Amino acid sequence: MDDVPLHVIHLEQDDPKKCTSRRMERFGHCRMHTDIRRSPKRGILLDPLAGRLIGPDDRAGIERGGALVGLDCSWKQIDESIEYLNKRTRLNGRTLPVVLAANPVSWGKPGRLSNAEAFAVSLVLLGRWEQARRIMQPFNYSDQFFQLNEQPLEAYSNASTNEQLAELQWEFFDKPDSE
């Protein structure tokens, strides 16, 4: 099984020393784009605001050559950055089920993942455990990430539909109050 192509649209808003995307690129795990016109035209954009989960229902599109695309931007500018991308690409926005961050900046915070962690979760959901572990190897918190999220990731990877996946996450995490 071929690796899922991983791409990052890099908006240069964060501290380069803490940038997991740059490290992933150095190790050959992703391709970085600073020019949005050179990024993939089809595939899935990892978008924490999308409202629709990535999961088993997306496997066919990825297996037909779709890419996973991460956005490297500041969490403080996420709304504007996503809006910018949505106007300029036709990528399908997907969000992730709840997992805990293990990166040093956001350790233990639900959903505040680095790009490397977000890609790893996405790959697990697409049945690509080996690639997920490989892209996390360059990070000293790799093992901790998989240990911290062992039970939810295992359950998520066994979901047969995105709908089932959406319900599964609340077995591990508190469901947010509806407003």
How does pLDDT run across 56-114, given as a tens digit for each residue?
999 998 998 889 998 876 667 667 777 777 677 778 889 999 999 999 988 999 888 98
What is the pTM (predicted TM-score) of this model?
0.89
Give the list of residues 6+ apart from residue 160 with CB closer than 8 angstroms, or none: 56
User: How many Cβ atoms from other residues are within 10 Å of residue 1's Cβ?
Assistant: 8
Percent share of the chain, pLDDT over 70: 91
How does pLDDT run across 126-160, given as a tens digit for each residue?
999 999 999 999 999 999 999 999 999 999 999 99
